[in-house]
Chain A
Amino acid sequence: MTTASRSDSRRGDPARPDNRLLRLRVNGTVHSVAAPPHAILLDVLRDVLGLVGTKRGCDMGTCGCCNVLIDGRAVMSCLVLAHDAQGKDIQTIEGLAFDGPDMHPLSKAWAECGGSQCGFCTPGFIVTCHELLANEAAPSRTRIAEAISGNVCRCTGYKKILDAVELAAARIREAEPASAPAKSGGSK
């Protein structure tokens, strides 16, 4: 399947007959890209914008490897049409400070706790947990498990992932006690 996708070499080419221009706001930057009406957001992110941190796993909405934030909510980008994502705020793993001196507490905790082994599922998990920690300052372990129940990891056994999210949540609470959400387990 991925071979077929790669061979679709004119994706992003404005001269391809069925391509339409669209504007996507990704990680704070507006990109004008060309894609056919049936283009999937995941393909545009990876193949046109080169944002390959978002992974193609099952491609059928089961594994969570392709999760991105759209208007702050984690969704599977393999099930979102690129043209339907116009006008929305898209954040991928690249926009969530996953590396460098400003590394996000989630990514840092992931590295420290061994939340990644092969690492393929990690971007999807971190995106999902961004949504969780943006809404709940102190989620219980059960609540974290529920929040990541749409993400599949075949290496870690999930325990170290739960450890990482708990550690990140604690560090975020310590660092920003005033601005952290007041309630835990609250509604959106």
Chain B
Amino acid sequence: MILPPFELHQPTTVDEAIELATQLRKDGVAFDWMAGGTDVLPNYKNRLNARDHVIALGRVDELTSIGKNSIGALARIEDVARNSRVQSDWPTIAKAASLISSPPLRNLGTVGGNLLLDTRCYYFNQSEFWRDSKGYCLKADGDVCLVVPQKETCYATYSGDLAPILLVLDVELEFRGSNGARRVPLRSFFEYDGIRRFEKAPDELLVRVFVPSTDKALRTDYLKLRARDTIEYPVMGVAMGLRTKGGTVADLRVAVTGSEAVPLYYGDLGLGGATVDEATADAVQAALLDRITCYRNVPFPPGYRKAMGGEFGRKLFLDLSGKA
């Protein structure tokens, strides 16, 4: 499938990339950032919101490093999954990274790309031919959402694997742009809309993800539902952090991906201080079933995905509290 023509920019430093983006923005030219290309290029091949200019970041080496308290936005997902520091300090980040797509795609894909992944939908991720026959949707070329028919909000599904555990760990994102640098907590970054997705100026570039130090007693894990054990995006994913003290819940953090247009952080589900037992595991499950909403726009029926979200929450609670 041939890509639509575009002008390609290949900066080698962050400064050069920002300068290019600022200039394009000033000139009123629409452009896309491209890190690994594994999300942008299939969408471009399907003629999904392709722009006339692309800034490819493959030569910006300064953003690939993995440090003591941060991960560069252009660190390759496979490098993160196999990095010994990540495996020991943030094992669930390594696990979530290892569950992303397939090895050759993890060799291309980046942490920043996975975090800012475009939302996915049965009516969106299709060829132009398919979309032309069915009718275009709100997210590309149409004016009505084909999942929840209205003209305001896109309900495409957020499908990144890293976001839930990064929400649990309360990371901060550092952006660089023409106005300098800014840091945003991931928990307040996303905005509920499958098109807008988050608050970020077009010429701002995600440069690093800062992971705060957490209590070593906080145990974390991530479970993912997908159609095959490889290649596929999550159609439900739950990350949990749990610290117990004296048989009660001292710190509980739950986040979900693959359900709605953004990854959602549910905090402690109102279960702080609860006794660590089967009844609380049931309460985790019930609280998730209360909160999770799924739409019919990715593989598996919404009811099944939601039920699995509840099951994952229950299992994670039992596993992490040692009650399994």
Contacts and interface: CB of A to CB of B under 8 A. Distances in A.
Nearest to B229: A149
B69 interface: no
A44 interface: no
Given A60-B42, A81-B56, A84-B58, A75 B108 contact: yes
A33 interface: no
Interface in B220-238: 229-231
Interface in B1-26: 1-8, 10
A83 B4 contact: no
A150 B82 CA distance: 17
Interface stretch (B96-104, B132-140, B209-217, B250-258): B96-104
Contact of A83 (B8, B42, B103): B8
Interface string A57-96: 0011110100100000111100111011000000000000
B237 to A, nearest CB: 18
A79 B42 contact: yes
A128 B291 CA distance: 42
A150 B103 contact: yes
Contacts of A60: 1, 42, 45
Given A149-B229, A188-B82, A18 B56 contact: no
A67 B82 contact: no
Identify the interface centre among A38, A61, A62, A75: most chain B CB within 10 Å of its CB.
A61
A149 B56 contact: no
Nearest to A67: B104
B79 interface: yes
B44 to A, nearest CB: 8
A80 B79 contact: no
Interface in A30-65: 36-40, 43, 59-62, 64
A84 to B, nearest CB: 5
Identify the interface centre among A38, A39, A62: most chain B CB within 10 Å of its CB.
A38
A149 B102 contact: yes
Contacts, number: 94
Contacts of B105: 61, 76, 79, 150
Interface residues of B, number: 34
Contact of B6 (A37, A75, A84): A37
B107 interface: yes
A38 B103 contact: no
Interface in A105-147: 128, 146-147
B79 A188 contact: yes
Contact of B41 (A61, A75, A151): A61
Interface in B103-162: 103-105, 107-108
A13 to B, nearest CB: 15
A76 B36 CA distance: 11
Contacts of A176: none
Contact of B38 (A37, A39, A59, A79): A79
A5 B79 CA distance: 34
Nearest to B53: A37
A64 B108 CA distance: 13
Nearest to B228: A149
Contact of A79 (B4, B5, B41, B56): B41
B37 interface: yes
A143 to B, nearest CB: 11
A74 B103 contact: yes
Contacts of A146: 103
Given A37-B6, A76-B38, A147-B103, 15 more contacts: A1-B1, A5-B2, A8-B2, A61-B42, A67-B104, A74-B104, A74-B107, A75-B108, A79-B38, A81-B41, A128-B103, A149-B102, A149-B231, A150-B104, A188-B79
5 contacts: A1-B1, A64-B104, A75-B107, A84-B56, A149-B229
**Which 6 pairs between the two chains have the least Cβ-Cβ distance?**
A150-B102, A37-B8, A149-B230, A38-B3, A187-B82, A73-B107
